[in-house]
Chain A
Amino acid sequence: MRKPKTVIEKVWEKHVVHQEEGKPDLLYIDLHLVHEVTSPQAFEGLRMNNRKVRRPERTFATMDHNVPTIHRNVIKDVVSKTQMETLKQNCEEFGVPLADIHHPDQGIVHVIGPELGLTQPGKTIVCGDSHTSTHGAFGALAFGIGTSEVEHVLATQTIWQQKPKTLNVKVNGKLGTGVTAKDLILAIIGKFGVKFGTGYVIEYTGEAIRNLSMEGRMTICNMSIEAGARAGLISPDDTTVEFLRGRRHVPKGDAFDVLAEEWKALATDEGAVYDEQVEIDADEIEPQVTWGTNPGMCIPVSANVPTVADAIDDNDREEIKHALEYMGLEGGESISSVAIEHVFIGSCTNSRFADLQRAAEIVKGHKVSPNVQAIVVPGSHSVKAQAEKEGIDAIFKEAGFEWRDAGCSMCLAMNDDVVPEGERCASTSNRNFEGRQGTGARTHLVSPEMAAAAAIKGHFVDVRTLGVPTLS
């Protein structure tokens, strides 16, 4: 009998171009996504060495990191403008397809890849962005790379990679009502730490993962990097196939069905062995809120912020102390009593149509607390258009949310969407690092539902207690 294999091994083996003892493998790259921030120096490198883009048709560029989300026609920030124009010139010069700021396909690179059907099971996908792990939700081997590697992939369509170790994160049972994929991934990182995935590629398995929509799976895989893993995959199944059916870059008709069977055959075989395995029970997970300055510093919404006395060693004590100080929190206070000034619903973690729709359910018929400034930034132009078609924008606007154009926005605050120093933001993004949303800004990561609930109440609250019909 053939040795049972994981999806990770299957995808890997199909892409090895060259193998040599004592060296990493040379892997072929099927799809290279490019954005304005990590690419200028790579194109510059090509130019200096008189090199071409080997496969422009396997390359796709967009602008997301520093695009403004209002007043798109006048970009005041000269440096941002230069960076966007540089990308445009580079794409023209090297023949790379580009969805620029005014293009209907524009959006956060990890939202538009799946949306256009560029992301497919079994592909190898890279991008100069650590959240490339998102595309693993489709059973693609997708990981972030640095700018030198961007240049390398542009020039050669390959990358040198050490075959990774595999880690199975098995999620047993079912998530409760009102508990989302975001809560699950935060709980996983909270339990196992921000570096348990370092050196591994994760595969998420188990009942709770199988039950997730593709949007939920993308949220999970997106944050693999927050656990230290460059890539996180989920084996393709019918959910994957149905999400992709009819999308622009997948074949039509019978050809699609043939391909769909190939995709499903990539799923991890019964009895395949991983280098490492951890398990978590979905039933026990509550909605989560981060209290500190890395995504592992998270607690259930019903809990209290830890104190230095909870530290397991000296390093931990220093970290807790430092994080409490930066976040302006007292050890021991209840997280749900913490007042916020900002709410950000957006980012490649949680800005897809389904995310906005679920948040809108919570918001419907309520008003944003007078002390809170709340913005919704759809992940792509097309998410925005769909939401507007279905009246989701109206729900947010009536409640007092600002409704913006697509981009990374307040996830990393490279444009004008910045949280002021010392102020607090409930954010659906993926990083609560110091200064991430602005110098001195205090970020609390939550699900879209929890962010919506916090916007209304002006502080964190367990979304399940709000009496929302879809949650009961």
Chain B
Amino acid sequence: MEPIRKHNGLVYPLNRANVDTDQIIPKQFLKRISRQGFGQYVFYNWRFDSKDKLREDFSLNQPKYEGTSILVAGENFGCGSSREHAPWALQDYGFRVIIAPSYADIFYNNCTKNGILPVKLTEAEVQTLITNAEADQYYLTVDLETKKVFDNQGFEATFDLDNYKREMLLNGWDEIAVTLTHADKISQFEEARN
């Protein structure tokens, strides 16, 4: 996967809590057998009407958010189904960073396996970012090395990410290759049990 160190991008605010993976990518798009091409379907039921026409009233469709790469959302983001199609769709649409007060566990893991950085900030910090991004075009920088999020108007916040996930993201490692360096131990474990 593509490494991520420092990212600067346009913020898209999604002021909702408990956004589930059924919303991020509805099930009718899960039948594809490759990892690519899911971006066009992200938030499909919000972005399109029942005749598959783009809904202008849904904020992500507004020109001011074109080219966004940082999604800011409410708590418990990515709950529900384990479908990895959700981070694939977000990434394919252009998101590299997500910022929310909390995430569902499976979704959080899935992000880090696909080069998306999930940042946890406090409820208050997230609200500030949402307010800023709703008001105007708003850019943020997210630095994974220093674990800081900041803008050029004085906002600064720090976040935490466990070292293992951080290293994987910073280096864009293939996790299977890392695990296979422990292949001997896996074999020993199997033998000991038989």
Contact = CB atoms under 8 A, between A and B. Distances in A.
A joins B in a complex = yes
Interface of A: 17-18, 22-24, 26, 28, 37-38, 40-41, 44, 49, 51, 54, 65-66, 77, 79-80, 82-83, 86, 128-130, 144-149, 151-152, 155-158, 160, 162, 194-195, 198-199, 225, 228, 230, 294, 315, 318-319, 412-414, 421, 431, 433-436, 439-440
Interface residue tally on B, bucketed by range: 35 or more
Contacts of B175: 148, 152, 160
B174 to A, nearest CB: 8
B30 A37 contact: yes
B123 to A, nearest CB: 9
Nearest to A40: B33
Interface stretch (B58-66, B91-99, B142-150, B181-189): B181-189
Interface stretch (B6-14, B76-84, B132-140, B151-159): B76-84
B34 A198 contact: no
A428 B153 CA distance: 51
Contacts of A65: 30
A440 B164 contact: no
Query: Chain A contact residues: over half helix, strand or loop, or mixed?
Result: loop
B22 A433 contact: yes
Contacts, number: 161
B45 interface: yes
Nearest to A79: B31
Nearest to A46: B176
B82 A41 contact: no
A22 B154 CA distance: 33
Interface string B95-118: 000000011111001100110000
A134 B32 CA distance: 26
B35 A41 contact: yes
B79 A194 contact: yes
Contacts of A66: 31
A132 B194 CA distance: 26
Given A40-B34, A152-B176, A319-B17, 14 more contacts: A24-B164, A26-B185, A37-B31, A145-B109, A148-B113, A149-B113, A155-B179, A156-B176, A156-B186, A194-B18, A194-B79, A198-B103, A294-B20, A421-B50
B176 A82 contact: no
Contacts of B35: 41, 44
Contacts of A128: 82, 84
B45 A26 contact: no
A434 B22 contact: yes
Contacts of B185: 17-18, 26
A26 B182 contact: yes
B104 A198 contact: yes
B27 A412 contact: yes
